[in-house]
Amino acid sequence: MLVVTSDDHLAHHALELDSTNLIPSWETPTRVDSVRRAIESDHRFVDPHRLDESLLRAVHDADYLAFLANVWDRWAAEEAGPAAMGVAWPARRFDQQRRPTALRGLLGYHGFAADCSVVTGTWSAALASAAIAQTAAELVVGGERAAFALCRPPGHHATRDQFGGYCYLNNAAIAAEVLRRSGVERVGVLDIDYHHGNGTQDIFYERDDVFVCSIHADPAFEFPYFSGHAGETGEGAGAGYNRNEPLPAGTELTEWLAAADRCLDALKAAGCGALVVSTGVDTFEADPISRFLLRTDDYPLVGARIAAMGLPTVFVFEGGYAVDELGLNVAGVLNGFEAASR
């Protein structure tokens, strides 16, 4: 499988509020190193193409993109702290649509969680990450059975106009947009990360040309808390084209695969012609911030299930924070997919 990656992510390592402590983010540059080491002998690495910024505008609001492009410079001039982070967020029963002008207000308006901040290298890393996802999709459009976008920061929590959950630009949505522009009538997105892909859901919730399915921890007890329930099925033209499979803490492989089969059956019934997989392996039993119980030996079975769809497939790197095992778990998904595709 072709793997698209670059070292442009290295300048980005943000801070997060973890319980009552401000710590270096769990989403660390060493995550890419772990995956690279585990897959480099079995897969071929290629550089990303130049980013088509019209793809960003297709999935994100213009004001949000302008905010991300300029927020660090403004923070450095006005605040001069180590990381730009919100301190207040829109409250229920008030006007949440009125966009403030103050920097701290904008950070709350365009951010939704204190696990995510902006540092000096965030914007350049996010752009590079988007270019990697774009390139992987372009390789699949060009005839590759599958390609893997080894990109960070991840993207599936980034909504049309908000960052959070370590995500700034929605890489999976960008890949789906590339596939749509190539002529695929309906693209499927399968999110296998432990956390609900609230950003991808938000972007496509009123569209019927992208069917989003997410298998994740029940938001009743897990981040992002306010989306990912089974009753969220799309609106307007997108009604019926969003599916959530929330699962309890302690979920093991059998229950997880049953949920995956329900999603894959739905994607097949919808006539999806290509697939984007938000590839998070924080479902792992030893992941430090997650509560599922999949094991390293389970991940090839996950990849084989996805391969059985028989669709052109773009894998996009998302979560997974047990760094020592992260590469092996990602390799399991990719190698399981390839073995089942032969």
The residues assigned a catalytic role are 157
Residue 83: which of 52, 57, 107 has the closest Cα? 107
DSSP 15: E
Residue that has been written with the tokens 């990303």 in this structure = 48
**DSSP-derived 3-state class of residue 107:** helix
Whether the Cβ atoms of residue 126 and residue 168 lie closer than 8 Å to each other:
yes
- Distance from C-alpha of 173 to C-alpha of 213, rounded to nearest angstrom: 13
- Distance from C-alpha of 80 to C-alpha of 57, rounded to nearest angstrom: 29
Longest pairwise C-alpha distance within the chain: 57
Side by side, which strands form the sheet with 146-149? 44-46, 2-4, 146-149, 313-317, 274-279, 187-191, 210-217, 242-247
Residue 137: which of 168, 200, 169, 182 has the closest Cα? 182
Six-digit token string for 212: 């989003």
Residues in the chain: 342
Q: Which amino acid is at 60?
A: H
Residue that has been written with the tokens 């070292």 in this structure = 7
Q: Which amino acid is at 53?
A: E
Consecutive H or E run containing 258: helix 253-269
How far, CA to CA in Å, does 97 sit from each of 12, 93, 94, 110?
Answer: 30, 11, 9, 11
- Distance from C-alpha of 225 to C-alpha of 230, rounded to nearest angstrom: 13
Question: Where do the H-state alpha helices sit in 52-91?
Answer: 53-59, 62-78
CA-CA-CA-CA torsion sign (103, 105, 108, 110): negative
Residue 127: which of 87, 85, 158, 84 has the closest Cα? 158
